[in-house]
A and B are shown apart, each in its own frame.
Chain A
Amino acid sequence: GESVGLHLPTLSVQEGDNSIINCAYSNSASDYFIWYKQESGKGPQFIIDIRSNMDKRQGQRVTVLLNKTVKHLSLQIAATQPGDSAVYFCAAADTGRRALTFGSGTRLQVQP
C-alpha cells in the first residue's frame, strides 16, 4: 500500500524567508499529489496539487516540485508570513484506490 512520510516534524523560519517542506511517498503508482494546510482545530485546506506528468506547478507564493525518480515532492512557500503558520500535509493518490493517503504533517512556525 501507499505510505507517505515527511522529513521533518517541525520547521521554524523567519518571517520573509522562503520555506521548503518535503515529502516522500512509496507507491510508484501514485499519480496525483496534493498539499494541504491545517490550522489548529480546523479541517485541512487545499493549497496546490500536481499530477505525475508534471515536475513543477506554481500558485500564489507556493510552488510544488515533484521528483518521480526518487518519489519525492516538496512545497515551497515564498516570503513566508505569520499567517502561514500551520501544519502542512502532503497527500498522494493512485489510480487504483480513489482516496488520498496523507503524510504525518510538518508544523511550520513563522518567527516574527
Chain B
Amino acid sequence: DGGITQSPKYLFRKEGQNVTLSCEQNLNHDAMYWYRQDPGQGLRLIYYSQIVNDFQKGDIAEGYSVSREKKESFPLTVTSAQKNPTAFYLCASSIPSGVSDYGYTFGSGTRLTVV
C-alpha cells in the first residue's frame, strides 16, 4: 500500500543534542512538508520542498534543517539551536499540481520530548 511513514513514533532528546526525524513516502509525490504541532495549537510549517534538491523555509524554520536528496525522503533535523523542541512533528506529501493542488497525505507523526 502507498503511504507516508514517519519514524520513530517517539523520540527523546537530551539538551544540546541534534536529532533527525525520518519521513519516507512511496506515493510518488513531488512535494513534502514538515509541520510542528503544540498542544492546543494548529500545525505550523517548518520547511517544505516542491522538488528534489530544493526546499524552502516555512514560518518557524529556526533551529531546524532538512535535506531532499531523494524524492521519497525528507528528513528533518532538530538542532540544539531549537530552544523548545518538545512537540508533535508531522510530515506530509502532496502532488503539487492538479485539482487537489494542496491536499496532503500525512504521516502518523513523531512525538519528540527533550529530557
Residues of A that sit less than 8 Å from B by CB: 1, 4, 9, 32, 34, 36, 41-46, 49, 89, 91, 93, 98-105
Partner of A102, one of B31, B42, B50, B101: B42
Q: Are the CB atoms of A44 and B106 closer together than 8 Å? A: yes
Query: Once bound together, how far apart are the Cα atoms of A45 and B102, in whole Å?
Result: 13
B58 on the interface (CB 8 Å rule)? yes
Q: Are the CB atoms of B109 and A105 closer together than 8 Å? A: no
B84 on the interface (CB 8 Å rule)? no
Count chain B residues whose beta carbon lies closer than 8 angstroms to a beta carbon of A.
27
Number of A-B contacts (CB under 8 A): 63
Partner of A32, one of B40, B90, B101: B101
Q: What chain B residues lie within 8 Å of A32 (beta carbons)?
A: 101-102
